[in-house]
Amino acid sequence: MRLAIVRQKYNPYGGAERFIERAVNALRAQDDVEVTLLAREWSEAPGYQYWRINPPYRGSLTRDRGFASAVRRALATTRDRFDLVQSHERIPGIAIYRAGDGVHATWLEQRARAQSRWERLRVWINPYHAYVLKQERLMFTHRELRAVICNSAMVRDDIAARFGTAPDKLHVIYNGVDLDLYHPRQAEGRAQMRAALGIAQEAPLFLYVGSGFERKGVARLIEALAGTSAPACAVIVGADKGSARYQALAKRLGVADRVHFLGARKDLPELYGAADVFVLPTLYDPMPNAALEALACGLPVITTKQCGAREFIREGENGYVVDVLDAVGLAQVMGVLAAPGRAAGMRVAARASVAHLSLDAMAGELLALYRKLAQTTPVVKFPLK
């Protein structure tokens, strides 16, 4: 089976890219699967072929529109090269779409809840958002669409309700986790990592991992930390060009000495091992890999109703779910889990909640879907409109 995967740009810390790399690594164990990646930039690795598609652009609108057009042209000249094409970008007419970024229309609605009137107006008049919304609707209603891979039931239900996409086209396949790497045994290095970070061994430690601080709620986390009576600390992992603003917020609220900004890191398993609780007060997140990894490491998770990871949370057993704008509720549950022994008592339940999400399980579900579609999906003639 010859599979093409379309993703515009590689980010080593991005959720979609990590999904693709994990999926490819799992699929290459299959002798009859050949994977080709179509992208602007990607790290070359054994197991797949790479086609660089990098038309010039200026700004996000011409970037996305130009890439989509270039992909169509590339596929038009190789229409017999692939049995299936799976896109992670909103390109109408491709047979398989993985909705790893969720629904843009829903993201804008959730974002508007935390924006001023002026900020909402700027989004409304931005031509880029108009373009994405149009492409999204065309894609989910296109006659050639055969399957949408959803990374959460939240996304599946949203697509069905908003666009009327047939239920038999919507498939929930959860992100796989390396259950050997992300494991409670990482806590064995807890003392060393805390010493390296300058965090007291006995201090309750809340961990955040993710890029895009505005969307994923770093400000809300800092405010909630300041509102807790416990002498807790927070570690913020992720790259964000506005990080100085969040550091200033921590200083203004008097918790600068308890909030550690680490930037992008590759030693995530060790950081999970050093933490007590994972916190992601996100405005909108279809299914964050970091939340699943944290659960696999035995950390209880605090997240929001607008996050797909809520599907794995059992209140009071392995974490808590709050509304994204409920600052008081967030501070309260952080205070509960900061109590001595409370988070540690959830470790077994946290691990058990994602123990079925192995990389092999994900690969098996993907293969089953691909094989089914390969038997029924006709060759699409590009370019498409």
4-18 pLDDT per residue, tens: 889 987 655 555 666
**In the prediction, which pLDDT does 30 show?**
63
**In the prediction, which pLDDT does 16 show?**
61
The most distant pair of C-alpha atoms in the chain lies apart, rounded to whole Å, by 64
DSSP label at residue 158 = H
**In the prediction, which pLDDT does 367 show?**
87
Per-residue pLDDT at 24 exceeds 90: no
The C-alpha atoms of residue 304 and residue 217 are separated, in whole angstroms, by 10
Q: Percentage of the chain surpassing pLDDT 70?
A: 90
**In the prediction, which pLDDT does 99 show?**
95
**In the prediction, which pLDDT does 64 show?**
96
- CB contact set of 60 (below 8 Å; sequence gap of 6+): 128
Per-residue pLDDT at 36 exceeds 70: yes
Which pLDDT band holds residue 143 (cuts at 50, 70, 90)?
A: very high
Can you point out the beta strands (E) in 73-143? 84-87, 96-98
Report residue 214 CA to chain centroid gap: 15
Domains of the chain with bracketed CATH: 2-176+358-376 (3.40.50.2000), 184-353 (3.40.50.2000)
Between the alpha carbon of residue 212 and those of residues 229, 255, 310, 315, the distances in Å are 28, 21, 19, 26
Which pLDDT band holds residue 79 (cuts at 50, 70, 90)?
A: low
Give the global pTM: 0.91
